[in-house]
Structure 1
């Protein structure tokens, strides 16, 4: 079924980034828009909504506040509407609980009729002056075709499963993104191994550490990292997540941008200090008892392959600093191996040959988040992306704190006016002498 009307913008995916865009467009523009997502409803990382875990960014990094603190879609208005404002006041924390963030986002979704779930975008065709977006509507079992002047791809990320760790029974070997779905059966095992580093690995380890007294499993944490390292959380360090740094980073050459990402690893892949302290507190209290739970924490160790052997799994490991190979047995394995950009299957076939690439996997993106086409100068219809931006816009590409600034740029570019004020010169750091010359 082909729709006749022309939309100003169609969004692909309804995660926090495109949901923010939808809310900001709804409040201050007259744009005709539609957003699609293949899932039945909004759920933010449901497999990792572990009880008593918080976001790693302050509540100000909600869907709208950096653009419009007076917005009806703000987190504070959510609290006020649900009679939770005083409770949050006495909570005395700057971060919001992860489960509550999910509930807040679902509250916003319910107020936006232009968000359509059960609908997967299965193709986007460039028609020369607009795009045709093909949607598989699973509620009506129909294929729908929409016309749009602009498209925004906000398809997020997908779990990274390394070679040699795939194809095994999901109830036994699974990514942290599926952790809660398998938690009860996982705890029935006599041994559990977590592979990987970062916040997700630490949160799963901590959650299982708390349960270990009531479930006599051996708990192991293996990571190839040099250590179980803390996230850089100093106030000046966090200024690398400001729009001012994105301006600087985007202006670097491609090679310099890739090198800059390596130098910022502690800002991106460390573990929250409170999580590390909570883990250590349990470890210390366990150590008092002669019957302490069986726990192994070993960094410097890369797991290269997993194979099934009867009712357990053999992990082929390499302690890379000593250059020693060894095997390790485990009943269940949880992969905290991170995520990669989720690029739709139709993207390369329909758009790959028309756009400029910086290398074989990373496309060229303008400062205002447009894909750069080979015929860019002739173009008045644009394809924006909120996905696969780390190489072009820096370490904050997956940080919720910069989502609103991205959407300000997109809205202002589409409308040709400053609908939302661009915030710059907002930090104490400078990154180039040119900024003050």
Structure 2
């Protein structure tokens, strides 16, 4: 498994980064590009890897940061993804290819863990990002304009000469037929804390870089009960014997609940469910999403178990546990005391009782929110938004635009309200990238299996339509697509594995966890 024929190049030699990666030489820009990507997090990186196998497709992907970096503030030792890594094991850019290129296949299968270490996933993505000729780091997209006279987008790119420093920044305009936005999300800060942000109050996205500053605090409060909150609390709990800190963990959810991880439950992260959800009326989607928080905002059961076991261990010989876990509590306000502490005004929701917590530091594990990138300003009046000002996104991940715009704007991880809980899940990233590329190439790029779930999410296709009286006639399960599902034209249907129709054997970056892209901070 780790050996290779003597006449075969080592994968490190096969996949050396393009020496031009990071800048375009005059006369080699290949414009107009068929697709320009804004942002290079895991989702647009997946798309770039898939597009790499389509030699007739001219692409560029721009990222403001000097290199790939995936949530560096939460790359804690031992933390893992919550979804498997598999996408296409035959791909030159698959995780298995990464292991092979680094002579680690034997070690990986002896390791016997299907969920990757986050630090390993980050390193894998860096390997892909530096190997793709179409990626451009240190290149920030500042504006996007539509030119009706040419039928092209103008992409204003501000590039750093060396990809790392702000010196000698140059601006140029790149022409593109189509755009894909992978600008990601930004840390969500509750209103109670917006005026308190600083060394004492910060988002968990910064936890790793600010962890040392917590050492002198006598009392630390973690707010939020998702996976990030649990990992931060666990990290503080492990260090508690040395730090002597008092810990509070506060969440508004009714419980410190596990993430849904049953086999049939996970089928809500399949292409079948995405198509079913997209076919629902928008009021039904808006009502359904809040009920599904445990699908993507819960905690890994292994993390919960380790927290509980540590707390249990601390009670040996009658010792007190210097930690408070407070679910179903909202924080209504936060103020700074004269002594420099943070006072939190809290309310226990079911009991409707108020109380205060005084703490020295607050870590906000309060999730991420979608953001509307400022670069869309020049085309804002060309977007056809819904009644609440949200993007309207079709089944092929295209933004609805006014009729005079013939170019397509695709989005990745901006469609939770239209495509459901799988939107931020990296396990679906490969499939979504294939859908986009198939739409872009009129269905000639990739073939995906027509069915990916055992569950039929909608009504069986032979169920009678609703009428004034009780429905009559028997219904039976169907093996076809769920009723109400919407396929992206001639694009792919569903399936976890993407198979090429032509060209090389491409595949996306594999595997995930609920994390997102970015056009750089």
Same fold by TM-score greater than 0.5: yes
The structure-2 alpha-carbon separation of the partners of 1:224 and 1:246, relative to structure 1 and needing over 3 Å to count, comes to same
Match of 2:92 among 48, 72, 81: 72
Provide the rounded CA distance (Å) in 2 between the counterparts of 1:418 and 1:31.
12
Match of 1:200 among 214, 218, 228: 228
User: Which string of whole-angstrom CA distances, capped at 9 and with x for unpartnered residues, describes residues 140-192 of structure 1?
Assistant: 41111111000000011110011120233522100000000110111221010
Provide the rounded CA distance (Å) in 2 between the counterparts of 1:396 and 1:387.
9
Paired residue for 1:36? 62
User: Which is richer in strand?
Assistant: 1
* Residue 377 of structure 2 is aligned to residue 330 of structure 1: no
* Residue 124 of structure 2 is aligned to residue 83 of structure 1: no
Paired residue for 2:154? 132
Shift of 1:361: 3.7
Paired residue for 1:191? 219
Alignment of structure 1 residues 160-175 onto 2, 5 Å:
160-175=188-203
How much is the aligned-residue C-alpha RMSD, in angstroms? Answer: 1.7
Match of 1:111 among 131, 141, 152: 131
Paired residue for 2:45? 19
Match of 1:318 among 317, 322, 347: 347
Alignment of structure 1 residues 215-226 onto 2, 5 Å:
215-226=243-254
User: Which string of whole-angstrom CA distances, capped at 9 and with x for unpartnered residues, describes residues 50-77 of structure 1?
Assistant: 10010000121xxxx2xx4311100011
Q: Which moved more, 1:181-190 or 1:96-105?
A: 181-190
Paired residue for 1:236? 264
Paired residue for 1:248? 276
The count of corresponding residues between Structure 1 and Structure 2 is 428
Paired residue for 2:300? 272
SS of 2:257's partner is coil
Alignment of structure 1 residues 398-417 onto 2, 5 Å:
398-417=424-443
SS of 1:11's partner is strand
- Tell me if structure 2 keeps the 8 A contact 1:4–1:147: no
* Residue 318 of structure 2 is aligned to residue 296 of structure 1: no
Provide the rounded CA distance (Å) in 1 between the counterparts of 2:239 and 2:386.
47
SS of 2:445's partner is coil
Gaps in structure 2 of 5+ consecutive residues: 1-23, 162-167, 462-477, 481-521
User: Which string of whole-angstrom CA distances, capped at 9 and with x for unpartnered residues, describes residues 198-240 of structure 1?
Assistant: 1110010011111111111101101111111111100000000
**Larger RCO (CA under 8 A, 6+ residues apart):** 2
**TM-score of the pair, normalised by structure 2:** 0.79
Task: Point out the structure with max Rg over C-alpha.
Answer: 2
Gaps in structure 1 of 5+ consecutive residues: none
- Tell me if structure 2 keeps the 8 A contact 1:213–1:293: no
Paired residue for 2:498? none
- Tell me if structure 1 keeps the 8 A contact 2:204–2:228: yes
- Tell me if structure 2 keeps the 8 A contact 1:191–1:219: yes
User: Which is richer in helix?
Assistant: 1
SS of 2:96's partner is helix
**TM-score of the pair, normalised by structure 1:** 0.94
Provide the rounded CA distance (Å) in 2 between the counterparts of 1:365 and 1:304.
35
Provide the rounded CA distance (Å) in 1 between the counterparts of 2:308 and 2:107.
29
The structure-2 alpha-carbon separation of the partners of 1:81 and 1:300, relative to structure 1 and needing over 3 Å to count, comes to same
Provide the rounded CA distance (Å) in 2 between the counterparts of 1:294 and 1:394.
39
Paired residue for 1:389? 415
Shift of 1:22: 0.6
Paired residue for 2:237? 209
Paired residue for 1:429? 455
